[in-house]
Structure 1
Amino acid sequence: MTHKLTGTGIAIVTPFKTDLSVDYDALTSLVDFNIKNGVDYIVISGTTGESVTITPTEKTAITKTIIHANKGRVPLVLGIGGNNTQAVIAEIEATDFSDIDAILSVAPYYSKPTQEGLKAHFLAIANAAPKPVLLYNVPGRTGVNMAPETIISLAQASKNLVGVKEAAGNMAQYLRLLKDKPADFLVISGDDDLALPVALAGGAGVISVIAQAFPKAFSSMMALGLAKNAEAGFQIHNQLMDITRLIFSENNPAGIKALLQTMGKCQATVRLPLVEASSTLKKNIAAFVNQNSKALNNT
């Protein structure tokens, strides 16, 4: 299973119409655009998909839309996480995983559990899950950092915990994980700006935000990283640096949605409490696209 989740995964947005309803046609087109341009798998209903403001009914419909658009071409990972362990398990038990390859489960947010609490939470999820589980460490959003020792302990304790999307933005933490992890445990970058260095250091790839706008370029960069071709990889990395910084400068996914709108892929609409990217950011994004999109799309 784990070999399916290497290379470039995307944390896909949930496109909304201007009336805030889900734009299923735009979602279908975005899936097809990314698969045709080289992404290796798709993550559904993550933070970038605005999972916290999606209703359960919408989540089911979004998942079905992506499954239908995918047509079995790439693996699909479904986000199921939260800070109520029993509620997460109940959602897992109620979910049809027939067309889903793995689960991405975020560290409990707001509650700020101890490292022992994190272990107990994820072991309970691993025991309940009928599919492999990827841990998701993103302390900037959850308020708690899963220490490398905790992640490694979990990897050793359950074969159903197959990897981690690591998004602490800390290269030293990546290196510790890569040094001490079990051989078949995946360390996946959740930081777009560190994805190439992590791959060069032995990581399995990335779950990316920016890649869904420039899938061909980003997938090429990650393939070069996994092949340990640093020089060629950094040529693409450097082309993407400015736009990666821009899309995260105000909020995710407001930035990536502004970029996708500029590219004609979907509206920039987000649901409260998020607001759209500022006019200044939209202008800066549009300027980048006008100057660089042709080169990136031909990479």
Structure 2
Amino acid sequence: MQKFIGTGVALVTPFNNDLSVDVEALINLVNFNIENGTNYLVINGTTAESATITKEEKQLIIDVIIKATNKRVPLVLGVGGNNTLEVVKELKTRDFTGIDGILSVAPYYSKPTQEGFYQHYKALAEATDLPIILYNVPGRTAKNMEPATTLRLAKDFSNIVAVKEAGNNQQQYNALLKDKPADFLIISGDDDLALGVTLAGGSGVISVIGQAYPAEFSKMIQLGLEGKNQEAYKIHFKMMDIIDYIFEENNPAGIKTVLQELNICKNDVRLPLVKASEQLQTKIADYVKAF
């Protein structure tokens, strides 16, 4: 699955002041990323505020991004939830024309057992021929999918091609890298650990900060894939502070503040999220000016 190696970005959903989808800003964000080296784009992930976007808006976002991308880079669509039957139904009935793969978050809130995780993803894998990227993010789902479960799925289903691991746990990354099948991709979902994971044998990142600094971040990951650790860490060290800032309060309020400072989109978010505090906005503005 070469198409998911390198730097993917989990796109935000830009909003107008009335909190409608800002289509023009979304197109600009897509073009900015493609023109500056992002390898693939992720649509309607959690960074896109997918929990507070309507079904009609999600389709609008998909249509806009497919058209703007114009097959220049692969597209991954977020399709997940804790109602397995509903996710299976969507996989069987949605038109996936223009979509290259699925990112499916581990079931949240329900806190399934490891066998529950396995059976959930088994049902998804049997419902579609599309490549599936598992998404383990225990900080949001309230339950960790353990490496043994991820690797069991990797070995049992040929269309489960990767995991976006976002537990911010280096030991868990190492366990996955140590025992993974040769063609299974370990993708970092943690911007702060992405370079180290890549250097250890990972396949890159699905990033949040990458969409604001696509040239720098994608170059860092490419250097990591080439084993050029000293050059790569120069970029990593330069970006450490902004990575901390964007996750200091909530995601995507932080990254939207960066994008506003770069004149790409406004920093509006939908409740229950709120804009970054004035203190955080000042820190981010100072970083962007000095970058």
* Residue matched to 2:157: 158
* Residue matched to 1:188: 187
Residue-pair matches, total: 291
**5 Å matches for 1:1-299?**
2-292=1-291
- Structure 1 counterpart SS, 2:187: strand
Q: How far is 1:130 from its partner?
A: 2.9
Q: Unpaired segments of 5 or more residues in structure 2?
A: none
Q: How far is 1:94 from its partner?
A: 2.4
- Structure 2 counterpart SS, 1:192: coil
* Residue matched to 1:296: none
- Structure 1 counterpart SS, 2:268: coil
Which amino acid is the alignment partner of residue 59 of structure 2? T
Q: Unpaired segments of 5 or more residues in structure 1?
A: 293-299
Which amino acid is the alignment partner of residue 6 of structure 1? I
- Structure 2 counterpart SS, 1:182: coil
- Structure 2 counterpart SS, 1:193: coil
Q: How far is 1:91 from its partner?
A: 1.5
Residues 12-68 of structure 1 show CA distances to partners (whole Å, capped at 9, x for unaligned) of: 000011101000110000000000000000000000000111111111110010000
- Structure 2 counterpart SS, 1:177: helix
Which amino acid is the alignment partner of residue 119 of structure 1? Y
In the alignment, the residues of structure 2 paired with residue 24 and residue 89 of structure 1 have an alpha-carbon distance, to the nearest angstrom, of: 29
The list of structure 1 runs, each at least 4 consecutive aligned residues, that deviate by more than 3 angstroms after superposition, is none
Which amino acid is the alignment partner of residue 264 of structure 1? N
In the alignment, the residues of structure 1 paired with residue 3 and residue 102 of structure 2 have an alpha-carbon distance, to the nearest angstrom, of: 13
Taking structure 1 as the reference length, the TM-score comes to: 0.97
Residues 107-130 of structure 1 show CA distances to partners (whole Å, capped at 9, x for unaligned) of: 000000000000000000011023
In the alignment, the residues of structure 2 paired with residue 37 and residue 69 of structure 1 have an alpha-carbon distance, to the nearest angstrom, of: 15
Residues 146-180 of structure 1 show CA distances to partners (whole Å, capped at 9, x for unaligned) of: 00000000101100100000000001100110110
In the alignment, the residues of structure 1 paired with residue 94 and residue 280 of structure 2 have an alpha-carbon distance, to the nearest angstrom, of: 38
In the alignment, the residues of structure 1 paired with residue 100 and residue 185 of structure 2 have an alpha-carbon distance, to the nearest angstrom, of: 15
Which amino acid is the alignment partner of residue 239 of structure 1? K
- Structure 1 counterpart SS, 2:42: strand
Q: Percent identity?
A: 58
Q: How far is 1:90 from its partner?
A: 1.3
Taking structure 2 as the reference length, the TM-score comes to: 0.99
Q: How far is 1:89 from its partner?
A: 1.0
Residues 230-274 of structure 1 show CA distances to partners (whole Å, capped at 9, x for unaligned) of: 100000000000000000000000000011011111010001110
Q: How far is 1:81 from its partner?
A: 0.2
